[in-house]
Amino acid sequence: MKKYLEILKDAAITKNPTFVQLLGMCPTLAVTTSLLNGLSMGVAVTVVLICSGTIISLLRRLIPDSVRIASYIVIISAFVTAVQLVIRAYLPAVDAALGIFIPLIVVNCIVLGRAEAFASKHTPGEAAVDGLGSGLGFTVALALVGFVREFLGSGTILGGTPLELAIPFAKPMLFFVLPAGAFVTLGFVIAAVNALRRASEKRRFEKEKKL
């Protein structure tokens, strides 16, 4: 059981797909105009990651190397299309918000990256946990960027409480909802995460030095 927790922590935090490996930039920039969009995209990617990871690691010995990428990507896109059809049928709001970016989960670098780097070398159980871990890491990152962009850009949190409550006389800055704002917000968020990571590493090293 501890092994699984280790994989989960490793995939979600130490090797966080967005902040550490810098993968999956396209959805992170395009879809995070609001917290809800970010979350729904994150959940969709997590579902695909878990299913495709398990299946790919089940078939890992059967797939010859010359068609490895082609077979992985077909399996992934089958799950993505299934998720897309389900979302279009039962969750119209999410379908309207995410639109073209649901099929683009197929080419999301995280999904194929995890499939090739992890799923094709580990057992289905570990691959599923790793999928869950990187999915969670990705969802947290999307939610964070989505929150910042929605709060600064349209002055609301989850579409509800307006900005004025938090900061009096503040007006939402349209810039953060536009594409250019996405780049800048992600840049600042990654810088903040880097600073936190560096500080905690230095503190840990100093604590070790003191022992």
Q: How far apart are CB 26 and other proteins at their closest, in Å? A: 4
Report helix angle 68-90 to 109-117, nearest 10: 130
**Segment near other proteins (CB under 8 A); pick from 7-15, 36-44, 129-137, 176-184:** 176-184
**Nearer Cβ to other proteins, position 12 or 176?**
176
**Nearer Cβ to other proteins, position 4 or 10?**
10
Select the residue interacting with other proteins from 158, 167, 192, 200 (CB under 8 A): 192
Q: How far apart are CB 38 and other proteins at their closest, in Å? A: 14
Q: d(Cα 134, Cα 209) in Å, to the nearest integer?
A: 32
Report helix angle 179-210 to 124-153, nearest 10: 120
Q: d(Cα 199, Cα 197) in Å, to the nearest integer?
A: 6
Q: d(Cα 150, Cα 38) in Å, to the nearest integer?
A: 10
Burial of 167: CB neighbours in 10 Å, binned 0-12, 13-18, 19+: exposed
Report the site for other proteins in 24-43 (rule: CB under 8 A).
24-26, 29-30, 33
Q: How far is CA 33 from CA 58, 138, 170, in A?
A: 37, 16, 19
**Segment near other proteins (CB under 8 A); pick from 38-46, 130-138, 158-166, 187-195:** 187-195
Q: d(Cα 149, Cα 45) in Å, to the nearest integer?
A: 20
Quick check: 188 binds other proteins (CB under 8 A)?
Answer: yes
Q: How far apart are CB 54 and other proteins at their closest, in Å? A: 14
Quick check: 2 binds other proteins (CB under 8 A)?
Answer: no
Quick check: 184 binds other proteins (CB under 8 A)?
Answer: yes
Select the residue interacting with other proteins from 3, 5, 9, 86 (CB under 8 A): 86
Select the residue interacting with other proteins from 3, 9, 14, 67 (CB under 8 A): 67
Q: d(Cα 154, Cα 143) in Å, to the nearest integer?
A: 15
Helix (H) or strand (E) holding 182: helix 179-210
Report the site for other proteins in 147-166 (rule: CB under 8 A).
154
Quick check: 211 binds other proteins (CB under 8 A)?
Answer: no
